[in-house]
């Protein structure tokens, strides 16, 4: 089955966490590279990516037959979605075991199953 792991982080912490030259940056990147390589080696990796900051977001709203666009996030929030993985796992327990290995300092990892009606 396919699952999506949605990586959520504190927006302020994320802004400083991923700055090259910051103490611990190389070690953190090394943990992510190792995690990605293990997902690939295990045949669990389908897709993944890091998202740009919330300041680059555009919110599309549909109401009363009209569409409106708003720059920035829909609501002010301290939490942001920083990235995602689409993984393949035999069952929920296996997906949760992968989610527990995400090498992140502070974010929350949300796990959602894909519907199976198309790519996740």
* Unique residue bearing structure tokens 């920083």: 82
Average pLDDT over residues 101-113: 69
Position 36 pLDDT exceeds 60: yes
Q: What's the CA gap between 19 and 25, in Å, rounded?
A: 7
Tokens of 23: 């103490």
Confidence of residue 87 (pLDDT cuts 50, 70, 90): very high
Tokens of 83: 């990235």
3-state secondary structure of 17: helix
Q: What's the CA gap between 114 and 10, in Å, rounded?
A: 25
Any bridge partners for residue 3, and if so which? 87, 113
Confidence of residue 20 (pLDDT cuts 50, 70, 90): confident
* Unique residue bearing structure tokens 């669990």: 44
The pLDDT of residue 90: 94
pTM: 0.74
């Amino acid at each position: 089955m396919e699952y999506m792991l949605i990586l959520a982080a504190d927006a302020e912490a994320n802004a400083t966490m991923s700055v090259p030259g910051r103490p611990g940056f190389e070690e953190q990147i090394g943990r992510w590279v190792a995690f990605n390589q293990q997902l690939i080696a295990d045949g669990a990796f389908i897709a993944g990516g890091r998202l740009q900051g919330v300041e680059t977001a555009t919110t599309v709203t549909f109401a009363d037959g009209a569409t409106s666009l708003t720059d920035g996030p829909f609501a002010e929030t301290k939490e942001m979605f920083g990235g995602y993985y689409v993984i393949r796992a035999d069952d929920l327990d296996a997906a949760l075991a992968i989610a527990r290995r995400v090498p992140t300092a502070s974010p929350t990892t949300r796990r959602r199953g894909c519907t199976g009606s198309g790519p996740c």
